[in-house]
Structure 1
Amino acid sequence: MQRYILRNKNQTMLISGILIAIAFISKWTMNNIMIFNWALIIASILGLAPIAIQAYQALRVKVVSIEVLVTIAVIGAFLIQNHEESAIVTFLFLFGAYLEQRTLNQTRSAIKELTEMAPESALKQMDDGEFEEVEVDDVDEGDILLVKTGAKVPVDGTVLTGEGYINEASITGEAIPVEKEKDSKVFAGTILENGTIQIVADRVGEDTTFGKIIELVEEAQDSKSEAERFIDRFSKYYTPAVLILSFIVWLVSRNIELAITILVLGCPGALVIGVPVSNVAGIGNGAKNGVLLKGSEVIHDFSRTDTIIFDKTGTLTIGNPEVSETKYYTDNAHEVSGYLASIERESDHPLAKAILKEIGETIFSPVENTEVVKGGGIIASVNGHRLSVGNVLLMEKENVELSEEAKADVSRLEKEGNSLVLTAIDGKLEIIMGVKDQIRKGVKKDLERLKSLGIKNLVMLSGDNQGTVDLVSRELGLTKAHGHMLPEDKAEYVKKLKEEGRIVAFVGDGVNDSPSLALADIGIAMGSGTDVAIETSDVVLMNSDFGRLPHALGLTKATARNMRQNIIIAVGVVLILLAGVFFSDWMNMSIGMLVHEGSILVVILNGMRLLSYELKK
């Protein structure tokens, strides 16, 4: 029976709320006191049932929880026939517990999704030299494996033969596929977008980088599961104090009504309601403004954050390479662009896609005699012209002379973090394009707002090269920036800062970020990121709107401040009421209950202010 009641306490809360509404509607519209009283009595009994069971379970393990005081207070309210108080307190207590349940529980589906993303099979070379499909668990270190276009790399290994482009977003978070050739390192869980390679297995199973990601997420989530709520800690002292005080008063005065009065006045109605109201209003404001806050623990920790760590790609930057600048050295830009598009249309390289997007609609021409220059680019014939498309090394190989203006443009674009694509026709330079991942619009201003809200350290960790990372860091005014960071490196960095006493928030969007998101005091995921990152995080910026981050931080600070105000109001009112009982002649139960109800109204109205909160510009 107890299990049934506890299992269905959310439905009980709903029924209780409906009965309370019926009670007040019947009183205000029909002045029907009988319906009013009975509806509140039934609501109180229903609402008290799960609270009383939890109080009983707490007492069995010798813990005087807040449920114990609420139970006694509600019974006391019954004895003095204050059914409104008993019904409302039980309903709001259950409603607060429901919201906590909804928002605080870190879901375990993240681990399941990570596991599902792990490769399940591999093409293994057998004794006869042929490749056969086997389960990934049957692969041992030293085995030779074949990876085809579109397949997941099954283990961490080294390329023996072949070449291609691998999407390593699941490991490094970087959107641009990485070229792999003989002796290149590859990681389990990454995807070969084009080409065919043979690899030798270096690390298998749980020892792979992807396996370590899963392990890190599990450990980090477990480390968060023991967090205690402030109210529970406070009630550890407050609840026994009120009970002892009430018993002593009865023992000395033998006045049962006075003892019950103290219990009723000492009932933490405003205390029980104050924190959930602030919590609900803060979460509601966040949802309205594109920020998902997963509970009061998140609000408390995020409001105290002094260090925020950012992943680069998809967080500070958009995540897709785009042409940032185009320089023409010809009067016939339209025709030359058409030739370039004709060649790039035949390539799967991400830079080619960015160039085609930039050129847009154009006239395509037949491409002949295509030659891929390893590490350089492409040479081909288009409409009888010899086109060379690639980097500066290809231009040197093709004896394409760069003017002083072109050299200056190359130098400047490289310093700005661009990957360069040069186009020469018949030995003459015609176009230079700079391609790079673009910084999100308004990010610099948002970072300045974070500093104004008390963030002392803004750190960027990225799998990208250190040169590009430094450029982005200087442009955005970050405190520190580190490149060439694998998931375990990022997680280790987060752990190091926490050991130094920092309150750390981590902002990311990929599977590779999930260990750091879970390990940080606060994990913040971009809404368009992977489901795993979102499930692992504590805060989600919906629609990947980075501009919501300052609002989220300001909101949590305001909400935490509001919670403290409500606690002070609630405890202060109780102390004043109890003092009035002992040290005044005018204090009685009616006046006390009036003030008590007023305090509940005050904390509710104070909490509701958060619904209209906006971060000052």
Structure 2
Amino acid sequence: MSAATRWLRGPWGTPIASGLLIVLAAILSLSAGVNPFGAGHHELGLSLDRPLPLLLSDLFMVAAALVAGAPILRAAVRALRVRTIAIDLLVSIAALGALVIGEYWEAAAVTFLFAIGHALEARTMDRTRSALAELVAVAPDVAVVLRDGAQQEIPAAEVRPEETVLIKNGAKVPVDGIVLGGTGALDEASITGESLPVEKVEGDQVFAGSISTGGFLQVRATGIGADTTLARIIHRVEEAQDAKARTQSFMERFSTWYTPGIILLALLAGLLTGDVVLALTLLVIGCPGALVISIPVAIVAGIGRGARSGILIKGGDFLETSAKISAVALDKTGTLTRGRPALTDVTVLDPALDRADVLGWAARAEAGSEHPLARPLLEAAAVEGLAVQGLPESTEPVPGKGIVAVLEGRRVAVGNLPLLAAEAITEDRGAAAEVDRLSGLGRTPMVVALEGRVIGVVAVADTIRPAAAEMIERLHAHGVQKVVMLTGDNRRVAEAVAARVGVDEVRAELLPEDKLAAVRDLQEQGHTVAMVGDGVNDAPALATADIGVAMGAAGTGVAIETADIALMQDDLLRLPEAIGLARGTVAVMRQNIAIALLTVIALLAGVFAGGVTMAVGMLVHEASVLLVILNAMRLMRRRREQSGPAPVGRAETPAPQPVGAGQRR
């Protein structure tokens, strides 16, 4: 099917056909020296006594009205069958009435302009849903798999779970999976909204719909078909764009009363004045077309733009609520911080040794430990080129205090100050003061002792995400009054984080039920609360908050389905972007309502004051519809705020900003 054929069979076919008939009628009328857009004949039926060009002109005008009016009348009848009085009924009555009284141009103009308005609405809704169309377009059709030692190209839907899929340069990833081997870069813009390719190595997760921009990957399929992240996103966006906002539901209820009210007003005006044209003009002028489309076009545009940026909003209702957010509650670990401790300090207390000695003994002792604080010591030692291979000759965990290991026949103790007492070490060489200093900075210090004497102190801490402070600054800029940290960590550590990132309030040492109570307390203070958490121990607070936000949801199918807002990329700046988008969308909704109502009021006043005809009224009415549409389309053009280029491969890889990592054992 050619583009021209598709165009004619689409929503533009009717107004094009009607418009051509109007042009033909105008040409014939002008050839007879008569203004085709003047007053009608005010008589029943077509006059056969008129000159042939004028008779043909009238016939073409009537045909134009019938061509454009037939779909409108069918829509009105369908609505009446379900006991709904739609705006199509107003236009149908007005057009039929105009034909009866001989106002052929008015009938043709009204139906033609309404058909144009309908085509514009259909085209706009298709365009605002373009984010969904783009997601569907990136869904892969084929996959290359390894079966019986040979490569086979099969439909993507036929990939089996746990099967090895090969991703070559330029290919679409057909499944969710884990990289088994190879290296490559994937464009994940359709999934996370990240504009730069992401480097993938063994153990990394990949998503269906992403596109290889280089390299070769072997992927173990973990999600296929409807179980992929892409499929969940498509389903979520479909539901969200169809979900109605509270304002939209109100406007629809308003229209069910408004439309019969306009019909009654037109009937009374006609009976009291005896002016049928006035009554019909009131029907046309009163069409709330711009009012009806003002909300859904903004919602679809807002949700569609969010999806393009990796921001999934559950529906119009949640979009409206998000625009009212005045307080944001954040978990600390994994949200404001990375949730992964790193070495921050090595203090040497034995003048005969150096940094490498203290860190080396501590790391080698921790090589036999399963405690989370062992890993940052081992990683730091490896980075600094220290030999930590192998295990201690013996390892003895001391619950609540630390660990004691034997290395090369020498006893090494790593832990807190009570461990020194347990080891009968009385001379701390200033370790207590150093521990107190580091603890005051929100870090977790560990004293290192070798053969019964203190040799130094090492400290680890979680690291603050580089965008944390900027996120909070942007939240305030978007109208959020209070940003509250809710954490189960100790208060000293929590306050150290808060001081660095600019959090307004800290609530520390909380259990899951305490976080729930904190959210309720904020709501009782009159705040509309958004809660950002990991969805596990924060589940009660997320469910209670007005808006629950899941961050980095691309790898979590449950979060995509259950969160009110799912931020596909683990990027803190997406949170203020989501709130800014919600506020912008609601602002457009309000502007559209104002445009629609002011247009109707002005036109009604113009009709009663004189000077506004049926055709002029419909022209202004359709202009208001176009203005509402263009206003909503601005949402699609807004770009995400940028804070500078992100590194290719991994998001956020700055120098560590240490904070406390919790208590030692």
Q: TM-score, normalised by structure 2?
A: 0.61
Cα deviation, 1:1-53, whole Å, max 9, x if unaligned, reads xxxxxxxxxxxxxx99962145578899999999999996786578x38x945
Once the two structures are TM-superposed, the CA of residue 543 in structure 1 deviates from its matched residue by: 1.0
User: Is 1:89 paired with 2:118?
Assistant: yes
1:610 to 627, 631, 635: 635
- When residues 387 and 99 of structure 1 are mapped into structure 2, their CA distance, relative to the original with a 3 A threshold, is same
What secondary structure sits across from 1:610 in the alignment? helix
Aligned partners of 1:342 and 1:366 also within 8 Å: yes
1:375 to 400, 422, 426: 400
Determine the C-alpha separation between the residues in 1 that align with 2:19 and 2:624: 23
User: Is 1:490 paired with 2:515?
Assistant: yes
Determine the C-alpha separation between the residues in 2 that align with 1:30 and 1:424: 97
Determine the C-alpha separation between the residues in 1 that align with 2:324 and 2:306: 18
Partner of 1:305: 325
Partner of 1:20: 11
Once the two structures are TM-superposed, the CA of residue 572 in structure 1 deviates from its matched residue by: 0.8
2:598 to 550, 554, 572: 572
Partner of 1:561: 587
Once the two structures are TM-superposed, the CA of residue 445 in structure 1 deviates from its matched residue by: 2.8
Q: 1:516-531 residue pairs with structure 2 within 5 A?
A: 516-528=541-553, 530-531=556-557
Q: 1:176-191 residue pairs with structure 2 within 5 A?
A: none
- When residues 44 and 253 of structure 1 are mapped into structure 2, their CA distance, relative to the original with a 3 A threshold, is same
- When residues 432 and 336 of structure 1 are mapped into structure 2, their CA distance, relative to the original with a 3 A threshold, is closer
Aligned partners of 2:14 and 2:68 also within 8 Å: yes
Corresponding letter in the other structure for 2:309: N
Once the two structures are TM-superposed, the CA of residue 487 in structure 1 deviates from its matched residue by: 3.1
Corresponding letter in the other structure for 2:593: I
Aligned partners of 1:20 and 1:88 also within 8 Å: no
Once the two structures are TM-superposed, the CA of residue 521 in structure 1 deviates from its matched residue by: 2.1
Q: 1:418-567 residue pairs with structure 2 within 5 A?
A: 418-528=443-553, 530-567=556-593
Partner of 2:366: 344
2:85 to 53, 68, 77: 68
User: Is 1:275 paired with 2:295?
Assistant: yes
- When residues 484 and 332 of structure 1 are mapped into structure 2, their CA distance, relative to the original with a 3 A threshold, is closer
Q: 1:291-440 residue pairs with structure 2 within 5 A?
A: 291-329=311-349, 331-334=353-356, 336-360=358-382, 362-363=386-387, 364-398=389-423, 399=425, 401-404=427-430, 406-440=431-465
What secondary structure sits across from 2:603 in the alignment? helix
- When residues 307 and 249 of structure 1 are mapped into structure 2, their CA distance, relative to the original with a 3 A threshold, is same
- When residues 38 and 244 of structure 1 are mapped into structure 2, their CA distance, relative to the original with a 3 A threshold, is closer
- When residues 503 and 236 of structure 1 are mapped into structure 2, their CA distance, relative to the original with a 3 A threshold, is farther
Aligned partners of 1:510 and 1:530 also within 8 Å: no
Once the two structures are TM-superposed, the CA of residue 583 in structure 1 deviates from its matched residue by: 0.9
- When residues 486 and 282 of structure 1 are mapped into structure 2, their CA distance, relative to the original with a 3 A threshold, is same
Aligned partners of 1:20 and 1:40 also within 8 Å: no
Aligned partners of 1:444 and 1:477 also within 8 Å: yes
Q: Which 10-residue stretch deviates more, 387-396 or 522-531?
A: 522-531
- When residues 98 and 454 of structure 1 are mapped into structure 2, their CA distance, relative to the original with a 3 A threshold, is same
Determine the C-alpha separation between the residues in 1 that align with 2:454 and 2:426: 7
Determine the C-alpha separation between the residues in 1 that align with 2:479 and 2:638: 18
What secondary structure sits across from 2:340 in the alignment? strand
Aligned partners of 1:285 and 1:610 also within 8 Å: yes
- When residues 522 and 250 of structure 1 are mapped into structure 2, their CA distance, relative to the original with a 3 A threshold, is farther
- When residues 93 and 483 of structure 1 are mapped into structure 2, their CA distance, relative to the original with a 3 A threshold, is farther
Corresponding letter in the other structure for 1:277: V
Once the two structures are TM-superposed, the CA of residue 390 in structure 1 deviates from its matched residue by: 1.7
Corresponding letter in the other structure for 2:412: L
What secondary structure sits across from 1:552 in the alignment? helix
- When residues 334 and 564 of structure 1 are mapped into structure 2, their CA distance, relative to the original with a 3 A threshold, is same
- When residues 97 and 305 of structure 1 are mapped into structure 2, their CA distance, relative to the original with a 3 A threshold, is farther
Partner of 1:265: 285
- When residues 247 and 23 of structure 1 are mapped into structure 2, their CA distance, relative to the original with a 3 A threshold, is closer
Cα deviation, 1:344-375, whole Å, max 9, x if unaligned, reads 23222211123223333542244113222122
What secondary structure sits across from 2:341 in the alignment? strand
Q: How many residues align?
A: 469
Once the two structures are TM-superposed, the CA of residue 570 in structure 1 deviates from its matched residue by: 0.9
What secondary structure sits across from 1:449 in the alignment? helix
2:310 to 278, 290, 295: 290
Once the two structures are TM-superposed, the CA of residue 590 in structure 1 deviates from its matched residue by: 1.7
Determine the C-alpha separation between the residues in 2 that align with 1:97 and 1:516: 37
RMSD: 4.1
Cα deviation, 1:99-154, whole Å, max 9, x if unaligned, reads 99x99xxxxxxxxxxxxxxxxxxxxxxxxxxxxxxxxxxxxxxxxxxxxxxxxxxx
- When residues 245 and 509 of structure 1 are mapped into structure 2, their CA distance, relative to the original with a 3 A threshold, is farther
Corresponding letter in the other structure for 1:85: F
Once the two structures are TM-superposed, the CA of residue 272 in structure 1 deviates from its matched residue by: 2.0
Determine the C-alpha separation between the residues in 1 that align with 2:528 and 2:581: 17
What secondary structure sits across from 1:471 in the alignment? helix
What secondary structure sits across from 1:389 in the alignment? strand
Aligned partners of 1:525 and 1:539 also within 8 Å: yes
Aligned partners of 2:444 and 2:461 also within 8 Å: yes
Corresponding letter in the other structure for 1:368: E
Higher Cα radius of gyration: 2
Once the two structures are TM-superposed, the CA of residue 571 in structure 1 deviates from its matched residue by: 0.9
Determine the C-alpha separation between the residues in 1 that align with 2:574 and 2:268: 53
- When residues 345 and 323 of structure 1 are mapped into structure 2, their CA distance, relative to the original with a 3 A threshold, is same
Partner of 2:268: 248
Once the two structures are TM-superposed, the CA of residue 278 in structure 1 deviates from its matched residue by: 2.3
Once the two structures are TM-superposed, the CA of residue 477 in structure 1 deviates from its matched residue by: 3.4
Corresponding letter in the other structure for 2:434: D
Once the two structures are TM-superposed, the CA of residue 397 in structure 1 deviates from its matched residue by: 2.7
Once the two structures are TM-superposed, the CA of residue 550 in structure 1 deviates from its matched residue by: 2.1
What secondary structure sits across from 1:350 in the alignment? coil
Determine the C-alpha separation between the residues in 2 that align with 1:506 and 1:600: 37
Cα deviation, 1:397-432, whole Å, max 9, x if unaligned, reads 33173333x444321221222222332222343443
Once the two structures are TM-superposed, the CA of residue 307 in structure 1 deviates from its matched residue by: 1.8
- When residues 269 and 415 of structure 1 are mapped into structure 2, their CA distance, relative to the original with a 3 A threshold, is same
User: Is 1:582 paired with 2:608?
Assistant: yes
| Structure 2 unaligned regions, length at least 5 | 1-5, 25-59, 97-106, 133-242, 644-665
- When residues 470 and 366 of structure 1 are mapped into structure 2, their CA distance, relative to the original with a 3 A threshold, is closer
Q: Which 10-residue stretch deviates more, 333-342 or 257-266?
A: 333-342
Q: TM-score, normalised by structure 1?
A: 0.66
Aligned partners of 2:64 and 2:112 also within 8 Å: no
Q: 1:216-235 residue pairs with structure 2 within 5 A?
A: 229-232=249-252, 234-235=254-255
Aligned partners of 1:16 and 1:91 also within 8 Å: no
Aligned partners of 1:325 and 1:434 also within 8 Å: yes
Aligned partners of 2:285 and 2:600 also within 8 Å: yes
Corresponding letter in the other structure for 1:311: D
| Structure 1 unaligned regions, length at least 5 | 1-14, 60-66, 104-223
Aligned partners of 1:517 and 1:533 also within 8 Å: no
Corresponding letter in the other structure for 1:273: I
What secondary structure sits across from 2:463 in the alignment? strand
1:595 to 610, 620, 625: 620
